[in-house]
Amino acid sequence: MDVVDLFLTVGFWAATVRMATPLIFGTLGELICERAGVLNLGIEGIMTIGAMSAWMWVYQGGDLWTATLFAAMVGASFGLLHAGFSVYMGLSQHVTGIGITLLASSLSYFVFRIMLPGVTTPPKIEPFAPLPIPLLADIPVLGPALFIQSPLTYIALSLVGVVAYILYRTPVGLAVRMVGENPMAVEAQGIDVFAVRTGAVAVGSALMAVGGAFLTISVFDAFYFQMINGRGWICVALVIFASWRPGKALLGAFLFAAFDALQIRVQQASSSLIPYQFYLMMPYLLSIVALIVMSRRAAYPKALLVPFRRGER
Partner 1 sequence: MRLEPREETPVWLSASAPLAAIVLALTLCSALIVWAGAPVIDAYLSLASGALGSRFALSETLTRATPLIFTGLAAAVAFRAKLWNIGGEGQLYAGAMAVTWLGTGALTMPPVLMIPFLFLIGAIAGGLLLLVPTALKIYLKVDEVVTTLLLNFVVLLFVNFMLFGPWKDPLAMGWPQAAPVIDEGVLPLLVEKTRLHAGFILALLAALLAWALMRFTRWGYEIRAVGLNPQAAEFAGVPMTATVVRTALISGGLAGAAGVCEVAGLKGYLTLDLSPGFGYTGIAVAMLAGLHPLGVIAAAIFIAGIYNGADSMSRAMDISNYLADVITATALLAVLASALFTRYRLRAG
CA distance linking residue 173 with residue 194, whole number of Å: 15
- Is 220 one of the binding residues for partner 1 (CB under 8 A)? no
Give the count of beta carbons closer than 10 Å to the beta carbon of residue 251: 16
**Cα 105 versus chain centre, distance:** 15
Of the residues 85, 128, 147, 244, which one makes contact with partner 1 according to CB under 8 A? 85
Of the residues 194, 233, 254, 259, which one makes contact with partner 1 according to CB under 8 A? 233
Residues in contact with partner 1, counted by CB under 8 A, come to a total of: 43
131 SS3 class? strand
State in angstroms the smallest separation of the CB of 174 from partner 1: 26
Q: Which own/partner pairs from 248-256 qualify as long-range (CB within 8 Å, at least 24 positions apart)? A: 249/24, 249/27, 249/28, 249/31, 249/160, 250/20, 250/24, 250/157, 250/160, 252/23, 252/27, 252/290, 253/20, 253/23, 253/24, 253/27, 254/16, 254/17, 254/20, 256/20, 256/23, 256/283, 256/286, 256/287
State in angstroms the smallest separation of the CB of 120 from partner 1: 14
Q: What does the per-residue mask of binding to partner 1 show for 268-297, with x meaning CB under 8 A?
A: -------x-xx-xx--xx-xx--xx--xx-
**Cα 284 versus chain centre, distance:** 16
- Is 102 one of the binding residues for partner 1 (CB under 8 A)? yes
Instruction: Report which residue type is found at 160.
Output: V
State in angstroms the smallest separation of the CB of 144 from partner 1: 32
CA distance linking residue 164 with residue 187, whole number of Å: 24
- Is 243 one of the binding residues for partner 1 (CB under 8 A)? no
- Is 119 one of the binding residues for partner 1 (CB under 8 A)? no
State in angstroms the smallest separation of the CB of 237 from partner 1: 5
Of the residues 73, 109, 174, 192, which one makes contact with partner 1 according to CB under 8 A? 109
By beta-carbon proximity to partner 1, the closer residue of 158 and 268 is 268
Residue ranges in contact with partner 1 by CB under 8 A: 41, 81, 85, 89, 91-92, 94-96, 98-100, 102-103, 105-107, 109-110, 113-114, 117, 229-230, 233-234, 236-237, 240, 275, 277-278, 280-281, 284-285, 287-288, 291-292, 295-296, 298
